Chains A and B, each alone.
Chain A
């Protein structure tokens, strides 16, 4: 372990850590200081750029052998997570000025970065926990709703259950194979004896819980609805992405045996169906996004049915499309006023006549999430189902496609509310969130790239 390797390989993490320390010092020095937002933005932006630089230069190293390893794919995943954090931070400017909020976001991002480069179960576990713990607090921060505490507690308890399940699974695997190294366990698994499959099943269950896969999804709608807008965006995009990347880290190159594939596919399929159906009746935008993200987690886990070499590419590509479009929808949410009232889909009525650009942004996001071409969501969905079919799981792919058809209505409904109904006179005209247009521009960039030059992007992932 040389110190240069530690400095270079963990550069994005160092930027985040620097940001956290600076924010905490700022909090101690002057609790009412103004600069927290700028600090957080600079630290995250620099971390994202350094991750991109590491990816572009093809850097690969193991500063802590057996625990922490980086390669171009890990760096790209980090870049994706950190780049998505930038619009989230921009959206936060509206509600949050205090440094503790930004310190929590940066800590959570630190955990996300850690788990992406994890080489052992220990690091992965640390990453998952550092990722989740600040989010429990974030749900509560800035929540003006009475349900906030209940939702946060629910999230905390179920998150704790996931943690415990994950740990039990890990210890079973350790007992069966005698190692905690991810790669070594992956090699040992096909021949491993009895507690190993149980361990794998428990770990999968824990990941499903964290990613809100049916039937372990019940925490998500409550938490998403109770949290403030940027925190919901953070959970829907970054936490979800990080959990999927953790699953990728663990199972990315494992060949899934034929008899297990049904088990792996069944719950994600149920998620797609139920997420898409349950979202239809929702009156709260954030709650609707929660169900939509439950469905999208289902599509993402479907990627594991595809052939192993394609999985990381598929998931990164899908996350880029899903994340950018979900965030784009959040940038259009109105600022100011009572959060709970603004969140009602009802307040979207006739949005096109009040804020046409915001309505067009939401419309693009909804069409994309529904998977209609030429928007990026279609290409991403096509990639997933193509891989599933190419791997021979045609029946699952067909079922998944029909499940995605069920999702069409819920997204069309939002567009219908915005474009085809006249504004409700009782609701005061809303205004755009501060800095929302910068965030929207950042989200549109990958979306346009995916829609126009998907081939170019695919060659580079």
Chain B
């Protein structure tokens, strides 16, 4: 089943190749059908996934390159199950909501969407480091094309910046990966790229720091964590709507997923060592992203910078070491995927009507496009973290976790963690500020638009947004299906990170929580 889910987009890609070049409609229908089928499969897998079982489910393991110890090994576990569902969920929405704005080369566009889907699912499902890397890098190619071909005016600059930035991280990771597998293994052991093997055989502590740093650079660029974030605003602004949705919805989560699945469990001692730095950078990203969002005049850039801020919560949760924080990070990943994906879709919709993204060109949309404004308002409130939405669940759990982690430190006389956690709360305030101020200028006030008359949302657009809003509320009101499926993974992750804590010799000190 899982293999069917993974390979379906590639099969769709071949199907697409057989269609005639002019058949725009056929292309769209086929892509949508493939994506929907994929959503059904992913939904079925999500329902069938048993959160009480440890380890992989629906796994497939086949030898691929025997001489190198590489296996085609995919499986579903608590770490990736939610993100796989998110990826499959956004797939058809992107096709319906964003693709019609693509005016030329529609066949190539849909082909790259399918390839992108294949690469993203592969990255999430891979349980073998080599396979993971192949998919990880393969994600670059379609994104390069999507931004570069269908993007805005400065698309070539943006796409090259995106690719060169990300590829730099990948090269660093590749060097670390080769070193990890081929230079460190114990004598006699055949090299293996399997995650489970690597988890059980962590490298020596000295090497761990270098290796973790290398992996972390790659993941931090993807997240992005300040100061490695400068590619993101350009890429987001120049990307076509579909590109922005995929980028914000799934691609950024690959970075945090990488930390959660690889960076920290593979090198627990180094992760422990760098933990204060990660927390600090997470809070800096959170605040800095929010501050930058506050001063933007381009509506797409506001959402782009808010992504940096929201992913700061995820990193904070992952580094917090408390179960609440880790689970909050997992929820926040899904939640941000839905909310920012939805917001980018909505900005794409207004851009398709007015062809401008300058905030000063808009005002009072609530009167001109009431339905649009309702959806926009809901998503905005979700982004702020209003209770009953998914944003609340994620942010609240993360902040709880951060305080939970900071308190024992504080009792031992360390003030810094508590200050960090308190600053993260400040991020919530800033988040409310920039989003509400943005909405105030955008939706309310005297009506001002570059084009009159303005049509409100069509039925197709409404369906797309309704699906997203429904998911946002579902997670906000009843997060249990999500939390239940990820809890075991979160506990496992927590235990791994804690195992990296080597108590000072002789001291019978309790490990900080």
Q: Which of A401-422 contact B (CB under 8 A)?
A: 401-402, 404-405, 408-409, 412, 415-416, 419-420
Interface contact B156-A455, CB-CB below 8 Å: no
Number of A-B contacts (CB under 8 A): 85
Assembly CA distance A356 to B105 (angstroms):
10
Assembly CA distance A48 to B149 (angstroms):
41
A 253-292 to B, binary, CB cutoff 8 A, 1 in contact else 0:
0000000000000000000000000000000000000000
Minimum CB–CB distance from A414 to chain B (whole Å) comes to 12
Q: Which residues of B sit under 8 angstroms from A367, Cβ to Cβ?
A: 141
Assembly CA distance A420 to B68 (angstroms):
38
Q: Is B134 an interface residue (CB 8 A)?
A: yes
Q: Which residues of B sit under 8 angstroms from A415, Cβ to Cβ?
A: 144-145
Q: Which residues of A sit under 8 angstroms from B133, Cβ to Cβ?
A: 373
Selected from B63, B138, B160, B179, the residue in CB contact (under 8 A) with A409 is B160
Interface contact A416-B65, CB-CB below 8 Å: no
B 58-74 to A, binary, CB cutoff 8 A, 1 in contact else 0:
00000111111010000
Minimum CB–CB distance from B158 to chain A (whole Å) comes to 11
Interface contact A401-B171, CB-CB below 8 Å: yes
Selected from A373, A386, A416, the residue in CB contact (under 8 A) with B182 is A386
Q: Is A38 an interface residue (CB 8 A)?
A: no
Assembly CA distance A459 to B64 (angstroms):
11
Q: Is B203 an interface residue (CB 8 A)?
A: no
Assembly CA distance A39 to B156 (angstroms):
47
Assembly CA distance A392 to B179 (angstroms):
9
Selected from A374, A404, A454, the residue in CB contact (under 8 A) with B138 is A374
Q: Which residues of B sit under 8 angstroms from A374, Cβ to Cβ?
A: 134, 138
- Of the 9-residue stretches B42-50, B161-169, B381-389, B405-413, which lies at the interface with chain A? B161-169
- Assess A401 versus B179: contact at CB under 8 Å? Given A378-B134, A416-B156, A455-B70: no
Interface contact B183-A389, CB-CB below 8 Å: yes
Assembly CA distance A356 to B111 (angstroms):
13
Q: Which residues of A sit under 8 angstroms from B108, Cβ to Cβ?
A: 352, 356
Q: Is B78 an interface residue (CB 8 A)?
A: no
Minimum CB–CB distance from A247 to chain B (whole Å) comes to 23
A 437-461 to B, binary, CB cutoff 8 A, 1 in contact else 0:
0000000000000000011001100
Q: Which residues of A sit under 8 angstroms from B159, Cβ to Cβ?
A: 416, 420
Minimum CB–CB distance from B189 to chain A (whole Å) comes to 13
Assembly CA distance A401 to B68 (angstroms):
19
Minimum CB–CB distance from A381 to chain B (whole Å) comes to 9
Q: Is B29 an interface residue (CB 8 A)?
A: no
Q: Which residues of A sit under 8 angstroms from B21, Cβ to Cβ?
A: 356
Assembly CA distance A356 to B104 (angstroms):
13
- Assess A459 versus B140: contact at CB under 8 Å? Given A398-B175, A401-B174: no
Interface contact A454-B183, CB-CB below 8 Å: no
Q: Is B155 an interface residue (CB 8 A)?
A: yes
Please classify how large the interface on chain B is, using the bins under 10, 10 to 19, 20 to 34, 35 or more. 35 or more
Q: Is B361 an interface residue (CB 8 A)?
A: no
Q: Is B196 an interface residue (CB 8 A)?
A: no
Q: Which of B102-156 contact A (CB under 8 A)?
A: 105, 108, 133-135, 137-138, 140-141, 144-145, 148-149, 155-156
Interface contact B179-A405, CB-CB below 8 Å: no
Interface contact A405-B134, CB-CB below 8 Å: no
Interface contact A405-B167, CB-CB below 8 Å: yes
Interface contact A373-B137, CB-CB below 8 Å: yes
- Assess A378 versus B149: contact at CB under 8 Å? Given A386-B178, A455-B63: no
Assembly CA distance A353 to B149 (angstroms):
12
Q: Is A394 an interface residue (CB 8 A)?
A: yes
Q: Which residues of A sit under 8 angstroms from B145, Cβ to Cβ?
A: 415, 419
B 182-204 to A, binary, CB cutoff 8 A, 1 in contact else 0:
11000000000000000000000
Selected from B144, B149, B156, B182, the residue in CB contact (under 8 A) with A390 is B182
Q: Which residues of B sit under 8 angstroms from A352, Cβ to Cβ?
A: 105, 108
Assembly CA distance A454 to B69 (angstroms):
12
Interface contact A394-B179, CB-CB below 8 Å: yes
Q: Which residues of A sit under 8 angstroms from B65, Cβ to Cβ?
A: 454-455, 458
Q: Which residues of B sit under 8 angstroms from A416, Cβ to Cβ?
A: 148, 156, 159-160
Assembly CA distance A394 to B214 (angstroms):
14
Supplied contacts A389-B182, A408-B167, 15 more A-B pairs, CB within 8 Å: A372-B167, A373-B138, A385-B175, A386-B68, A386-B178, A386-B182, A394-B183, A397-B179, A405-B171, A408-B164, A416-B148, A420-B156, A454-B64, A455-B67, A459-B67
- Across the A-B interface, give the 4 residue pairs with the lowest CB-CB distance, nearest first: A455-B65, A373-B134, A390-B182, A405-B171
- 30 pairs, A vs B, C-beta closer than 8 Å: A353-B105, A356-B21, A356-B108, A372-B140, A373-B135, A373-B137, A374-B134, A378-B134, A382-B174, A385-B174, A385-B175, A385-B178, A389-B179, A389-B182, A390-B182, A394-B179, A397-B175, A405-B167, A405-B168, A408-B164, A409-B164, A415-B145, A416-B148, A416-B159, A420-B155, A420-B156, A455-B63, A455-B64, A455-B66, A458-B68
